[in-house]
Amino acid sequence: MKARYIYESLNEMNFERRKDPLGALGIGRRKMIEDWLDEMEIYNYIINDDLTIDIDDKHSDSVDLMHKGFKELPVFIQFGNVGSFYISHNELQTLRGCPTYVQRTFSCQDNKLYSLDGCPKKVGETFKCGQNKKQFTEEYVRSLCDVKYVKLRY
């Protein structure tokens, strides 16, 4: 009888095989990611099994994190694929957590970057990186990222 009671209680808490038990309790890394995305007013996202974040391009596929005062993105945030990604006009010292693939525009202008480590591996259109602590060259950007256009100044 006790085993049945425990089984029913666990089912009532939505524990299932292959489901993250911390997520079912409303805690854990996935919950932290969801809360942060909601706070940043980022919607229509998909959190993948590896906890990378893709933005659903059928709706609003751009991420706008400009003027937020970031020195870095939270350690639990890692974007995967997005349409456009704007993280300009902050105080970023690192691009850790930025997307791996950007379909159109990636903009990290007007930050405090000395390096572009952590930038996307591929940007479909324009990579904007002017007005940082270090003046980057087009050759340097292209050594890190497959990109169509590089914009080094406003």
Return the pLDDT at 61: 78
Token pair 């525009």: residue: 105
Tally of structural domains, the chain:
2
CB of 51 closer than 8 Å to CB of 78: yes
Return the pLDDT at 7: 44
Indicate the pTM of the whole model. Answer: 0.82
Same domain, 145 and 85: yes
Return the pLDDT at 60: 62
Same domain, 121 and 75: yes
- pLDDT (tens digit, 0 to 9) for every residue of the chain, 154 residues total? 454 444 444 444 444 444 556 555 567 899 999 999 999 999 889 999 999 999 976 656 799 999 999 999 999 999 999 999 999 999 999 999 999 999 999 999 999 999 999 999 999 999 999 999 999 999 999 999 999 999 998 6
Which among 23, 36, 74, 82 is positioned nearest to 57, based on CA atoms? Answer: 82
Same domain, 34 and 65: no
CB of 65 closer than 8 Å to CB of 52: no
User: How far apart, in whole angstroms, are the C-alpha atoms of residue 17 and residue 35?
Assistant: 24
Coil, helix or strand at residue 66: coil
Return the pLDDT at 57: 66
Region at 139 (left for phi over 0; alpha for psi -120 to 50; beta for the rest): alpha
CB of 111 closer than 8 Å to CB of 88: yes
Same domain, 4 and 61: no
Same domain, 140 and 87: yes
Coil, helix or strand at residue 84: strand
Return the pLDDT at 115: 97
Range of the domain at 22: 1-39
Which positions ≥6 away from 28 have C-beta within 8 Å? 20, 22
Same domain, 53 and 35: no
Q: Which two tokens stand for residue 6?
A: 């425990």
